[in-house]
Structure 1
């Protein structure tokens, strides 16, 4: 029996672990992975026992971002960036979310992790916001959340150049995320999760609401601006030249 694409595990004492493990597509944003993540976070959001969530991938992959099919559907107007709110999963989760990014985070996969309340990277893994390699501007709230989390200068460089960075290089650049050897990422996430889970759930929810409230309020307007930019830039991009964003 094959393993599920999304595994939800109760680690006890209010800690839940969500593992993305689509080995065929390297955790790319297939319809199955999107639906699985959305349904899993809906289950977590209904729980009154969960205090903290760890979101992680498998082996050398956190998430490979959008698929070729999704990009072509985007060009064809079959859906918009607003249709599948992956960034909002961590942002709108009532309890703290830790992104244990032990593997590569590419394009939207990197943005997905950046929306978490805590993000932990691996020194060996590759992280990139690479939309501009394909001729169009970033979506999913990237232009808003990356400058807030990484600092404007580094975020601007990442998005404009679409360059790939090892976690070790980002650490040297002063990124405000913990950066560890790959094998240490999940243990650090577990340690942090257990520390958070010692606090009362009501207090965790209340404080998170306060800390991210302004981001939640501003996100819809920022997404609208990203959609407008995409509509402009896509007019000058050849859809036939689009390759999978998961390729490095």
Structure 2
């Protein structure tokens, strides 16, 4: 059971890590919102030059994938481990890498960063951000009676794939240094391929922030359930697999927060 004293003590010790997570997610939300306007708004010269929406999504995917990779390898990312997503934090908590108190503070920081950045972008970009093709960069399921089910399955699957790829990379001496780039590349692919099905969230904090900025939260629950279940379930299953396959193996070193 986590006490208030535990929370306050850990905050004093690790506040830099939590601030880094809040700032990192704020940067991600701000850049994704600005990029959505650049690549999708009808008055944007970039959007007109690229043409069809699937081509526009390629441009958006490249930008966001590169951003995630850059954040992962940056001093900021190395300080906190660059989770930048409550679902990723939950997965690492399941594996025993993150203590419960730290996981709670990480989650609070991530949601705070996403909420603040979404509100700021809504104020700064005004009507461009609220255009129907951008809609505050919210994630929404397909229209129709079964749109929510398609979005839920899609979010769960891409979340599980992302966590699996991350864990495989982190368990490989050859691939570990490429983990950030791999996550960025997968994110880019998901934006191009999966976004039409659910809006491509992967991140409950990002979805909540944009929903609050828009004043609408269509099927918000599925953008929590899908990523959280997908990443937690994958971490649980992969942990069991590793313990069964390599019972004497040394526990892997996950992205470690900088203790300084």
TM-score, with length taken from structure 1: 0.30
Higher strand share: 1
Higher-RCO chain (CA-CA 8 Å, sequence separation at least 6): 2
TM-score, with length taken from structure 2: 0.29
Q: Which has the larger radius of gyration?
A: 2
